Each structure stands twice: as structure tokens, then as C-alpha cells.
Amino acid sequence: MMTPIKDWPAAERPREKLLQRGAEALSDAELLGLILRTGDAGSRASAVDHARQLLERFGSLRTLAGAAVAELCAVRGIGPAKAAELLAVFEIARRFAGTALRPGDRYSTPAEVYEHFHERLRDHKRELFLALLLDSKNRLLREVRISEGSLTASIVHPREVFAPVVREAAAAVLFVHNHPSGDPQPSREDLEITRRLKEAGDLMGVRVLDHVIIGSEGYVSLADRGLL
């Protein structure tokens, strides 16, 4: 029979340990236990026990952070409320780790684009295609989500991409998308879509600066590859 946290020695309870020794003294399971707060009265499983079950099920915090609500709720003791709390904490962590591009920020290198977007996109389970609209000095005007899902010519159409470019009177555009597989190497579809968007930009007098593909541990810049 598992022992509830309230029956643990005071120095070993996660909250007390954090307050006395700092958050870095806690294990992953203990930190998750603090987020989950309560266990299962029926089985006497503590919040930390549930946290250990989650880590055993998903293997790591990063994999857990990418889990869907249904996957989390499949673990005994995790309902929609606790799943929502976990997802909220992981989203806060992503936003904190990422440095968001703000209007007026200047685009300089694809490495900077990767730095801005990799925490946000690297664990996304579907391909997310973004357009960064820039002024004549390559300063950000606006970020536009073009599509979500496997990239095809039908969902990334020049008409849909360049409509906001025209509305914002952007002088240049830069494309960013992720590969859920983790491998940033461009696919045939990536190259074809980029070619079509570059041709449309040339016709409209809008510079297509780059298409940056983000993977789990790196990126590919089609401009750096000479593919624009």
C-alpha cells in the first residue's frame, strides 16, 4: 500500500523540500507531483506516485510535454483537470524558453529564426507553416499562421500566403515550418512549395528571404542551401 505524502517525514515532502532546499533539489517526479497536488485516495497513491507513472509511461519530460490530453488521461489517476494543469505548465515553459519575435525586430540570420521558434515548434505534432511579414529593412511587421497539417500545394497556396502580405504592404516575407519527425531535411513537397511561393513573390515584387525548416535538434535554411 502506497503512503500518502502527508504521512511522509516533513523533510521529504516535495513542498517542504522545495522551500527549504530549493527547486533544484527535487526530482522530476517530485516537481510533477507538486503540479498534480493530489493523489488517489482509493489506492492511496500519492501525487508523486502518479508523476512517476507518467514518467514511466512517456519516458521523459520532453515526451510528456508533447502528449495529448487523451494520452495523459489514459494514465490512472490523471483526469482532464490534471491533464490541463500539466499542459499549461509545459506551455509556460516553452514560452519562457523561447524568445518571441516582436514587431520591429530585425531578421538577420536563419540561426536567429531557429532560436526564436524551435522551443515553440520542435514538439508540435503537426506541421505548422508560418509567414513572417517584413518591411524594407527586414523588420518584423506581423507573424501569420498559414496552415497546420501535412504540407501540400492545396493548403499552402500563394493566394492564401500573399493576401496578408498585400494587406500589410510587406516588402519581404520569410517562411518557417517544423518537421514533427525531428529531421529538418527538406522534402520534395517543401522544395516545390518554396519554388512556387518564390515565383509568386517575384511577380508581386516581394522578396522571399528564406524558408527555415525546424527539427528537434537543428534547422535547415533553404537560402543557405542555395535553393531560393
Q: What is the pLDDT of residue 36?
A: 87
Give the C-alpha separation, 209 to 198, whole Å. 9
- Per-residue confidence in pLDDT tens, the chain, 228 aa: 455 566 676 567 788 888 888 888 888 888 888 888 877 665 567 888 888 888 889 888 878 888 888 999 988 888 899 889 988 888 887 776 655 556 677 777 899 888 888 888 877 778 899 999 999 999 999 899 988 876 654 467 888 889 999 999 999 999 999 998 889 999 999 999 999 999 999 999 999 999 999 998 799 999 999 988
Q: What is the pLDDT of residue 1?
A: 47
Contact 213, 220 (CB under 8 A): yes
Return the C-alpha cell found at 222: 533553404
Query: DSSP state, 45?
Result: B
Q: pTM score, two decimals?
A: 0.63
Contact 100, 94 (CB under 8 A): no
Contact 155, 147 (CB under 8 A): yes
Q: Which residues pair with 216 in a beta bridge?
A: none
Expressed in angstroms, the distance from the first to the final Cα of the chain is 63
Give the C-alpha separation, 223 to 213, whole Å. 11
The dihedral of CA 105, 212, 134, 153: what is its sign? negative
- Walk me through the domains of the chain, giving residue ranges and CATH numbers: 5-97 (1.10.150.20), 110-221 (3.40.140.10)
